[in-house]
Amino acid sequence: MKLPRSSSINQAEDFLRIRKTGQAKAGRFVIVSTLADSSLPSVRAAFITSKRAAKKAHDRNLIRRRLRSYLQAHTPQFTDPSRFVVTIARPGAKSATNAELEADWLRQCRRLKLLP
């Protein structure tokens, strides 16, 4: 499942603005950053999975697919849909089960008040 181009963050300026003025919460497997932007019609997301998170491209792609599925499943429940969301996989994400990874992602989203 690929995110539509209209739902992905692809401008370097957006990443810098999210990093400088947004909020971030770190969990055991992921770091979730967010920034509210009233000009957005819906959630715009990005997933960062470096070689530190998983050496093999296959594993990095698997982590990204899982994170993308969590976003697609839980976006309708977001309290404010007009925001940027950046998810960064941490080194332990490769060894985490699907349930553990989803629980950690949801926990960080709740801490950021994205979900009720």
CA distance 14 to 58: 27
Q: Which residues pair with 47 in a beta bridge?
A: 87
**pLDDT for residue 19:** 87
* Tens digits of residue pLDDT in 47-60: 999 999 999 999 99
Quickly name the fold that domain 5-111 has: Ribosomal Protein S5; domain 2 (3.30.230)
CA distance 84 to 22: 9
* Tens digits of residue pLDDT in 31-42: 999 999 888 888
Arithmetic mean of pLDDT, 66-70 = 94
- Residue 1 pLDDT more than 70? no
- Residue 4 pLDDT more than 80? no
Residue-range domain boundaries for the chain: 5-111
Q: What's the pTM?
A: 0.90
